[in-house]
């Protein structure tokens, strides 16, 4: 799966505004609208583009507390155990296994501190979890690329 310069500029244009018209993008990158659509279709088929979504203000939707939770798991826990266990929590936005002391770090959104604490307790009670360590977000300084890679 190799993207050339044209593909990257198309993805960049879509990252700025996913509802931009193919003709608009075509003007930016120097292609006709159908040519852009064909490339976008190909990028989707290849899996480079996985979908289109909306960027929201967390607070406006009632998510006013955010934090990172480092998870220390039992020694025989597989990454897939963690993924399956956490996928039942809508408050968990992302989870990754990591290097270092902790086994995984997860990003948690909650309505308020009380909600955050409840989620934390439920997660800490999962059979594969030994202990957790959480840091709360004081202020989100930068939120670029909607949490993904630079595009």
Partner DNA sequence: GTTGAAATTGGGGCACG
Partner DNA sequence: CGTGCCCCAATTTCAAC
Closer by beta carbon to a second copy, 32 or else 146? 146
CB distance 73 to 129 below 8 Å: yes
Partner whose binding site includes residue 130, from a second copy, DNA, none (CB under 5 to 8 Å by kind) = none
Eight-state DSSP code of residue 99: S
**Residues near DNA, by CB under 7 A:** 6, 20-24, 26, 30-35, 37-39
Q: Which does 94 bind (CB under 5 to 8 A by kind): a second copy, DNA, none?
A: a second copy
Q: Cα separation of 7 and 15, whole Å?
A: 12
Helix (H, G, I), strand (E, B) or coil at 2: coil
The item of DNA, a second copy, none sharing an interface with residue 139, based on CB under 5 to 8 Å by kind, is: a second copy
Q: Measured between alpha carbons, how far is 53 from 91 in angstroms, rounded to an integer?
A: 18
Q: Which does 86 bind (CB under 5 to 8 A by kind): DNA, a second copy, none?
A: a second copy
CA distance 123 to 71: 9
Q: How is residue 25 annotated by DSSP?
A: H
What is the contact surface with a second copy in residues (CB under 8 A)?
Answer: 1, 3, 8, 11, 14-19, 46-58, 60-63, 66-68, 79, 82-83, 86-87, 90-100, 102, 104-107, 109, 135-151
């Amino acid at each position: 799966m190799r993207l050339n310069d044209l593909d990257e500029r198309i993805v960049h244009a879509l990252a700025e505004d996913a509802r931009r018209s193919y003709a608009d993008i075509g003007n930016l990158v120097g292609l006709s609208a159908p040519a852009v659509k064909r490339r976008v279709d190909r990028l989707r088929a290849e899996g480079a583009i996985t979908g289109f979504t909306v960027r929201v203000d967390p607070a406006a939707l009632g998510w006013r507390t955010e934090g990172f939770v480092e998870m220390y798991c039992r020694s025989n826990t597989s990454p897939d155990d963690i993924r399956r266990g956490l996928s039942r929590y809508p408050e968990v936005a992302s989870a990754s296994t990591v290097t270092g002391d902790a086994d995984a770090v997860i990003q948690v959104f909650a309505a308020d501190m009380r909600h955050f604490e409840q989620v934390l307790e439920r997660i800490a009670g999962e059979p594969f979890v030994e202990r957790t360590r959480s840091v709360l977000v004081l202020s989100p300084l930068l939120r670029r690329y909607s949490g993904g890679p630079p595009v």
